[in-house]
């Protein structure tokens, strides 16, 4: 059995800020069936989950970060609740905070570089000495992108230099671009390796990972094709490394996303009675949010960010309400302050038509997937997107743009699929999408047919886990 260590800054349910947390929390559960034993390591934050768990220290030492000597320990979860071996790096002062990335002012922590570097160095220091042996290191996003570099360039880790590395890009927009002065925080490396860290005159953690990892994946095949065509300044890099690049579509954890067992829902699916499941969850949602009933219900869940097209939603809904189209909307998310403001203003103007909750709320998210008729996803780009899969699993039709992972998972109802794919990525495209959804909803027979197609699709990790295991097999 291959042994793989997933190195990430998030893992659901221990700590999650976005989809990467879901992926790292679920993929390792499905790998053993493919002959891979997967473990996970993340930083130890001060989340509720960590507070409630008992962890056993397996290694304790200190590391050098520039001029500073920093104490750290590696701890291992002492129960079987996660179905895979789970480790964390405890670095008091750097990670014992409630939020993963953002300080109270809503901006990234000022010591982000120190945090990411110390986390990665601690893992390599531990691996040099530990009894636990992992044949492959699987790193996620730029926060762990210097590990493949350090294995190649730092003498101190020579013993690990033959360890294969796989690097997964969950979101290529975030790159870890740093001033060269940060290099002094890294363990000593020969200056002949400097070029591996560099892109456009800065340290670029994402670029370094693409150069140094043995294999690179994105979280959908279409996103890989899109990046190969246009990854702005990184386009030539990805093109020159394309022989080691693959796109593998994410899956979802069918145990957590299970309409018959979902503990976040007040009404679970019983006796396969989908009509009742949808009806009771919808009416619950409508009542709870004081919305008008007897009309199609749309949802949006996620970061209120440009990537997610949150501004497109605001404009499109506003146009549709002015046109007096009959529908209700529930929005759940937080992010860009301007978008938050305009959404709240819209909800104030049309209080019974649109409800806006500025928050991250896992329970409410599950209720929206279960209770809505449609889920809106006007993403400008989407490396994979998991929300459309959660929605379909609960018989909710996604209304999406034709990009990245959305392209790979949602086919339009006009081509026998289970969603509405809009023609253009703007408010007009989305107004059209909403109009088509409303028309579909009024044709009850067709609507039920498509909702049925959607919930019968299989989004579990099995297929993707197989593809990852085939990639791991190339290494060993
Ligand atoms: C990032 C991407 C999203 C993807 C997720 C998990 O959050 O933006 O598209 O689904 O990572 O890979």
Q: Model-level pTM?
A: 0.95
For residue 18, the ligand 1 atom closest to its alpha carbon is 7
CB 171 within 8 A of CB 108: no
Q: What's the pLDDT at 452?
A: 87
Task: Give the tens place of pLDDT for each residue, 290-307.
Answer: 999 999 999 999 999 999
For residue 250, the ligand 1 atom closest to its alpha carbon is 12
More confident residue, 163 or 476: 163
Task: Give the tens place of pLDDT for each residue, 68-90.
Answer: 999 999 999 999 999 999 999 99
165 — pLDDT class (breaks 50, 70, 90)? very high
Long-range contacts of residues 359-364, Cβ cutoff 8 Å, at least 24 apart: 359/332, 359/333, 359/334, 360/333, 360/334, 361/332, 362/264, 363/264, 364/332
Task: Give the tens place of pLDDT for each residue, 364-419.
Answer: 999 999 999 999 999 999 999 999 999 999 999 999 999 999 999 999 999 989 99
Q: What's the pLDDT at 104?
A: 82
Round the average pLDDT of the chain to a whole number and report it: 96
Q: How far is the CA of 50 from the centre of ligand 1 (A)?
A: 24
Helix, strand, coil % in the chain, rounded to nearest 5: 45, 20, 35
Distances (CA, A) of 192 to 188, 197, 207, 224: 12, 11, 17, 30
Long-range contacts of residues 277-281, Cβ cutoff 8 Å, at least 24 apart: 277/370, 277/395, 278/370, 278/371, 278/373, 278/395, 278/451, 281/367, 281/370, 281/371
Residue 221 Cβ contacting ligand 1 at under 6 Å: no
Q: State the span(s) of the chain assigned CATH 3.40.50.2000.
A: 2-251+462-473, 274-455
- Give 274-455's CATH code, choosing from 3.30.1390.20, 3.40.50.2000, 1.10.760.10, 1.10.645.10: 3.40.50.2000
For residue 223, the ligand 1 atom closest to its alpha carbon is 9
Q: How far is the CA of 325 from the centre of ligand 1 (A)?
A: 32
Question: Positive or negative CA dihedral for 284, 48, 339, 395?
Answer: negative
Q: What is the DSSP string of 415-440?
A: GT-SBEE-SSSSHHHHHHHHHHHHHH
Q: How far is the CA of 119 from the centre of ligand 1 (A)?
A: 22
Apex 169 CA angle, 165 and 172, nearest 5: 140
Instruction: Tell me the CATH architecture of domain 2-251+462-473.
Output: 3-Layer(aba) Sandwich (3.40)
Q: How far is the CA of 460 from the centre of ligand 1 (A)?
A: 16
For residue 382, the ligand 1 atom closest to its alpha carbon is 9
Q: How far is the CA of 87 from the centre of ligand 1 (A)?
A: 23
192 — pLDDT class (breaks 50, 70, 90)? very high
Q: How far is the CA of 254 from the centre of ligand 1 (A)?
A: 18
103 — pLDDT class (breaks 50, 70, 90)? confident
**Which of 8, 16, 20 to mutate to test ligand 1, by most ligand atoms within 8 A of the CB atom?**
20
Q: What percent of the chain has pLDDT over 70?
A: 100
Residue 383 Cβ contacting ligand 1 at under 6 Å: yes
Q: What's the pLDDT at 454?
A: 87
Q: What's the pLDDT at 144?
A: 98
Listed in sequence order, the DSSP H helices in 179-299 are 194-197, 205-212, 221-229, 235-240, 274-288
Cis check: omega of the bond before 168, within 30 degrees of 0: no
């Amino acid at each position: 059995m291959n042994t793989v260590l997933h190195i990430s800054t998030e893992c659901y349910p221990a700590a999650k800020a976005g989809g990467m947390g879901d992926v790292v929390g679920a993929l390792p559960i499905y790998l053993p069936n493919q002959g891979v034993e997967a473990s996970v390591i993340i930083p130890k934050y001060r989340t509720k989950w960590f507070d409630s768990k008992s962890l056993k220290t397996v290694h304790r030492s200190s590391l050098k970060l520039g001029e500073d000597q920093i104490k750290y320990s590696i701890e291992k979860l002492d129960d079987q609740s996660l179905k895979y071996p789970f480790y964390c790096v405890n670095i008091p002062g750097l990670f014992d905070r409630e939020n993963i990335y953002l300080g109270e002012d809503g901006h990234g922590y000022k010591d982000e570089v120190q945090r990411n570097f110390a986390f990665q160095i601690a893992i390599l220091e531990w691996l040099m000495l530990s009894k636990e042996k992992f044949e492959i290191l699987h790193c996620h996003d730029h926060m762990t992108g210097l590990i493949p570099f350090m294995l190649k360039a730092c003498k101190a880790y020579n013993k690990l230099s033959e360890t294969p590395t796989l690097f997964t890009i969950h979101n290529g927009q975030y790159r870890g671009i740093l001033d060269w002065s940060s290099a002094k925080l890294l363990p000593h490396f020969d200056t002949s390796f400097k070029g591996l860290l560099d892109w456009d005159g800065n340290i670029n953690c994402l670029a370094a990972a693409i150069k140094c990892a043995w294999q690179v994946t994105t979280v959908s095949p279409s996103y890989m094709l899109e990046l190969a065509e246009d990854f702005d300044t990184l386009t030539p890099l990805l093109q020159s490394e394309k022989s080691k690049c693959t796109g593998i579509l994410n899956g979802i954890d069918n145990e957590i996303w299970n309409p018959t067992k979902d503990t976040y829902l007040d009404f679970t699916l019983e006796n396969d009675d989908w009509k009742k499941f949808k009806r009771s969850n919808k009416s619950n949602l409508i009542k709870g949010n004081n919305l008008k009933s007897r009309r199609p219900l749309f949802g949006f869940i996620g970061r209120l960010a440009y990537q997610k097209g949150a501004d497109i939603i605001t404009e499109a809904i506003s146009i549709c309400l002015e046109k007096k189209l009959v529908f209700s909307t529930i929005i759940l998310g937080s992010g860009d302050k301007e978008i938050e403001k305009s959404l709240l203003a819209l909800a104030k103007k049309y209080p019974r038509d649109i409800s806006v909750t500025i928050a991250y709320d896992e329970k409410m998210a599950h209720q929206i997937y279960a209770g809505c008729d449609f889920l809106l996803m006007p993403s400008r780009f989407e490396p994979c997107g998991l929300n459309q899969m959660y929605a379909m699993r609960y018989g909710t039709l996604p209304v999406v743009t034709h990009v990245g992972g959305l392209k790979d998972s949602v086919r339009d109802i006009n081509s026998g699929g289970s969603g509405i794919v809009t023609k253009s990525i703007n408010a007009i495209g989305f107004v059209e999408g909403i109009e088509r959804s409303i028309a579909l909803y009024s044709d009850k027979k067709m609507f039920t047919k498509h909702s049925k197609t959607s919930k019968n699709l299989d989004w579990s990790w099995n297929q993707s886990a197989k593809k990852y295991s085939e990639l791991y097999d190339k290494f060993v």
